[in-house]
Chains A and B, each alone.
Chain A
Amino acid sequence: MALNTKALVDRLKRTGGSLLILIVIVVVMTLIDKRFLSPENVRNILRIGAITVIAVYGQTFVMLTGQIDLSMGAVASLSSVIIGLVVVQLGWPLFISIIFALLVGALVGLVNGVLVFHFGLPSFITTFGMFTSLSGFASSLTGSTPIELAGLCNIGWIGRGFVGAVPIPIIIAAIAFIILHLVLNNTGYGRTVKAIGYNRKVALLSGRKVKLIGIITYVLSGFLVGLTAVLMSSRIYCAHPDLAPNLAFDAIAAAAVGGISMQGGKGNLVEATIGALIIVALLNGLTLVNVTTYMQMVTRGLVIIVAVALNNVRTFGFANVTGISFRRKKVGVEV
Chain B
Amino acid sequence: MKKALQQRTDKNKEGVIAQLSRMKSSIDWFQFGAVGLLILIWLIMYFSTPHFGNKFNQINLMRQASVLMVAAAAQTFAVIAGGLNIAVGSSVALSAVVSAAVSLKFGTAAGYIAGVLTGVLTGFLLGVAVGIFRVDATIGTVGLMAVAQGLAFQVTRGRPVTGLPQTYRIVGMGMWGGVPILVVVALSTIILVHIFLSYTVWGRNIYAVGVDEEAARLAGIKVRWYKILSQVLSVSLAAWAGVLLSSRINTGIATIGAGMHLEAIAAVILGGTALFSGEGNVLKALIGVMIITILNNGMDLLHVSHYLRDILLGLIVISVVFINTTLKNR
Q: How far is the CB of A150 from chain B (nearest CB, A)?
A: 26
- Whether a CB of chain A sits under 8 angstroms from the CB of B33 is no
A300 to B129 CA separation, bound complex (whole angstroms): 16
Contact of B132 (CB < 8 Å), options: A131, A292, A297, A322:
A322
Question: Complex: how many Å from CA A137 to CA B308?
Answer: 7
When chains A and B are docked, how far (Å) is the Cα of A323 from the Cα of B217? 13
Q: Is the interface of B mostly helix, strand, loop or mixed?
A: helix
Is A164 interfacial (CB-CB < 8 Å)? no
Q: Would you give the 0/1 interface string for A120-135, flagging 1 where the beta carbon is closer than 8 Å to chain B?
A: 1110111011111111
The CA of A298 and the CA of B315, in the complex, are separated in Å by 29
Contact partner of A312 among B126, B134, B158, B309, CB < 8 A? B134
Q: A133's contact among B2, B84, B311, by CB below 8 Å, is which?
A: B311
Q: Does B318 contact A (CB under 8 A)?
A: yes
Choose from B1, B133, B313, B322 the contact partner of A119 (Cβ within 8 Å): B322
User: Does A298 lie within 8 Å of B224, measured CB to CB?
Assistant: no
Chain B residues 234-277 with CB under 8 Å of chain A are 261-262, 265, 269, 275-276
B151 within 8 A of A: yes
Q: Are A140 and B308 in contact (CB under 8 A)?
A: yes
Interchain nearest-CB distance for A79 vs B (Å): 17
Instruction: Name the B residues within 8 Å of A299 (CB-CB).
Output: 150
Chain B residues lying within 8 Å of A295, measured Cβ to Cβ, are: 150, 154
Contact of B310 among A121, A135, A303, A324 (CB under 8 A): A135
Residue numbers in A under 8 Å from B153 (CB-CB): 294, 297
Kindly provide the distance from the CB of B291 to the nearest chain A CB, expressed in whole angstroms.
16
User: A156 CB to closest chain B CB, in angstroms?
Assistant: 29
A276: CB under 8 A from chain B?
A: no
Assuming the contacts A121-B322, A301-B145, asked whether A308 and B311 have C-beta atoms less than 8 A apart, the reply is no
Tell me if A110 is interfacial: C-beta within 8 Å of chain B.
Answer: no
Q: Of B5, B135, B312, which contacts A308 at CB under 8 A?
A: B135
Q: Does B104 contact A (CB under 8 A)?
A: no
Report the bound CA distance from A249 to B143 in whole Å. Answer: 8
How many Å from the CB of A35 to the closest CB on chain B? 24
| Interface contact B147-A301, CB-CB below 8 Å | yes
B318 touches A129 (CB 8 A): yes
B325 at the A interface (CB under 8 A): yes
Most buried by A among B145, B307, B322: B307
State whether the Cβ of A70 lies closer than 8 Å to any Cβ in chain B. yes
Say whether B72 faces chain A, with CB atoms less than 8 Å apart: no
Partner of B325 from the list A120, A124, A323 (CB cut-off 8 Å) is A120
Q: Given contacts A126-B321, A129-B317, A294-B154, are A301 and B135 in contact (CB under 8 A)?
A: no
Instruction: Among B140, B147, B150, B158, find the residue whose CB has the most chain A CB atoms closer than 10 A.
Output: B150
Question: In whole Å, how far is A329's beta carbon from the nearest beta carbon of chain B?
Answer: 17
| Among B2, B135, B153, B317, residue most surrounded by chain A Cβ atoms (within 10 Å) | B135
Cβ contact within 8 Å between A308 and B146: no
Report whether A121 and B150 are in contact in the complex, using a CB–CB cutoff of 8 Å.
Answer: no
- Do A129 and B315 have beta carbons less than 8 Å apart? yes
Contact (A294, B151) CB under 8 Å given A136-B310, A305-B140: yes
Cα A136 to Cα B308 with chains together (Å): 6
Q: Are A292 and B154 closer than 8 Å at their CB atoms?
A: yes
Question: Is there an interface contact between B322 and A262, defined as CB atoms closer than 8 Å?
Answer: no
In the complex, whether B306 has a CB less than 8 A from a CB of chain A is yes
Given A124-B138, A313-B133, A249 and B146 touching (CB < 8 A)? yes
Cβ-defined contact, B314 with A125, below 8 A = no
Residues of A within 8 A of B318 (CB): 115, 121, 125-126, 129-130, 133
Q: Which residues in B have their C-beta under 8 angstroms from that of A40? A: none
Q: Which 5 A-B pairs have the closest CB atoms?
A: A133-B314, A136-B310, A301-B146, A297-B150, A301-B147
Binding site for A on B (CB under 8 A): 1-2, 5, 84, 86, 126, 129, 132-136, 138-140, 142-151, 153-154, 158, 224, 261-262, 265, 269, 275-276, 305-315, 317-318, 321-322, 325-326, 329
Q: A298-B150, A298-B154, A312-B134 are in contact. List 5 more A-B contacts (CB 8 A).
A: A115-B318, A132-B314, A136-B308, A136-B309, A249-B142
Question: Can you list 8 A-B pairs with a CB-CB distance of less than 8 A?
Answer: A124-B86, A133-B313, A256-B139, A298-B150, A303-B143, A304-B146, A305-B140, A305-B147
